[in-house]
Amino acid sequence: MGKKGDLSNFERGMVVGARRASMSISRSAQLLGFSRTTISRVYKEWCAKGKTSSMRQSCGRKCLVDARGQRRMGRLIQADRRATLTEITTRYKRGMQQSICEATTRTTLRRMGYNSRRPHRVPLISTTNRKKRLQFARAHQNWTVEDWKTVAWSDESRFLLRHSNGRVRIWRKQNENMDPSCLVTTVQAGGGGVMVWGMFSWHTLGPLVPIGHRLNATAYLSIVSDHVHPFMTTMYPSSDGYFQQDNAPCHKAQIISNWFLEHDNEFTVLQWYSVTAQSPDLNPIEHLWDVVERELRALDVHPTNLHQLQDAILSIWANISKECFQHLVESMPRRIKVVLKAKGGETPY
């Protein structure tokens, strides 16, 4: 039995534990940047309940648009994707007891994951063309990359000397609207342009032919005999090549059909069911035109006349990498599958 005032072993252990806990709380408060009271409260709650809770769960202003309101707003978006912020707010407030402002609508939509963006542009596909696209995809759904390597793709495209870009923005004051530095000049019909015809296959880029006038059957016959024929016989000497052309009127002229019939023992004209202007996803040369267009816009010194524009186009075409056009041909099986899945409709290609 110890002296009066002495602590038992149990009590001594409690005191030591309390001192250690106090030192740990103080050290934690210093490290975390909180007060000892806060650390102590959280520690006691964890010891008693095995968990902690926030005292600030109900802080801040209550959201005006609850889960039910978000579902209503989502239905409005689905019904009209092109509705403005004002229209969405007005339609939401109909039949609702609580009114909201456009700022609340914007905040709610962003919380729901909606953002205002420019729509992705796709060609208009009619019901008839949808059926033709589906027909083409079904006829070639079993083609492999090796099969598509036997196809030579062709098309025409026009490149303008000047581009109209409606997305250009400037910084100006209210009275500076006619200041020369705040103006964008425009030229009717884009200041003219250069039209070219080109072809390529998986093996190589073909010729790019400038067209000085409107392409008619006579001019196209010269292209076919002077460029298509030597390309096909050189690249496919075993007569196993396919030549693709779209359904432009000059391509379907009788003199063109007769020429192809006379040379059907050297290569085959690919049965093209769809109009390529409405099916750029099925003709990979359309993507090469995009490459040329982007490179033209990226030039440090832009062409100032049609001769310079033509030279720039020919130079860009000649420098398109082999990996670029081969990748396009190798994507054809995937494109066919996507068209089949879309039942002839729009695709992301």
Kindly report the number of other CB atoms within 10 A of residue 198's CB atom: 21
Stretch (H or E) spanning 277: none
Kindly report the number of other CB atoms within 10 A of residue 72's CB atom: 15
C-alpha to C-alpha distance for 221 and 213, rounded to whole angstroms:
14
Kindly report the number of other CB atoms within 10 A of residue 282's CB atom: 23
**pLDDT by residue (tens digit) across 226-243?**
999 999 999 999 999 999
Stretch (H or E) spanning 132: helix 127-139
On the CB side of 18, how many CA atoms lie within 13 Å of its CA?
Answer: 6
C-alpha to C-alpha distance for 66 and 96, rounded to whole angstroms:
12
349 or 77, higher pLDDT: 77
pLDDT band at 3 (very low <50, low <70, confident <90, very high): very low
**pLDDT by residue (tens digit) across 7-65?**
445 444 443 444 555 557 777 777 777 787 877 777 777 777 766 665 555 556 778 88
Backbone phi and psi for residue 84, each to the nearest 5 degrees, phi listed first:
-80, 170
Say what the pLDDT of residue 209 is.
Answer: 96
Domain locations along the chain: 9-58, 67-113, 127-342
Both tokens assigned to 233: 């016989």
Say what the pLDDT of residue 168 is.
Answer: 53
**CA 18 to chain centroid:** 63
**pLDDT by residue (tens digit) across 260-302?**
999 999 999 998 755 445 677 888 999 999 999 999 988 888 8
Dump the DSSP string for 45-106: HHHHHSS---TTTT-SPPPSS-HHHHHHHHHHHHH-TT--HHHHHHHHHTT-SS---HHHHH
% the chain with pLDDT above 70: 77
- Residue 266 burial class via C-beta count within 10 angstroms: exposed 0-12, middle 13-18, buried 19 and up: middle
Say what the pLDDT of residue 43 is.
Answer: 74
Judged against a pLDDT cut of 80, whether residue 70 lies above it is answered with: yes
If you average pLDDT over residues 342-349, what whole number do you get?
81
Instruction: Go through 133-171 and write b for each residue having 16 or more CB atoms within 10 A of its CB, e for each that does not.
Output: bbebbeebeeeeeeebbbbbbbbbbebbbbeeeeeeeee
Kindly report the number of other CB atoms within 10 A of residue 202's CB atom: 22
Closest CA to 343 of 122, 126, 134, 125: 134
CATH number for 127-342 (one of 3.40.50.300, 3.30.43.10, 3.90.420.10, 3.30.420.10): it is 3.30.420.10
Closest CA to 275 of 125, 121, 122, 120: 125
Backbone phi and psi for residue 145, each to the nearest 5 degrees, phi listed first:
-60, -40
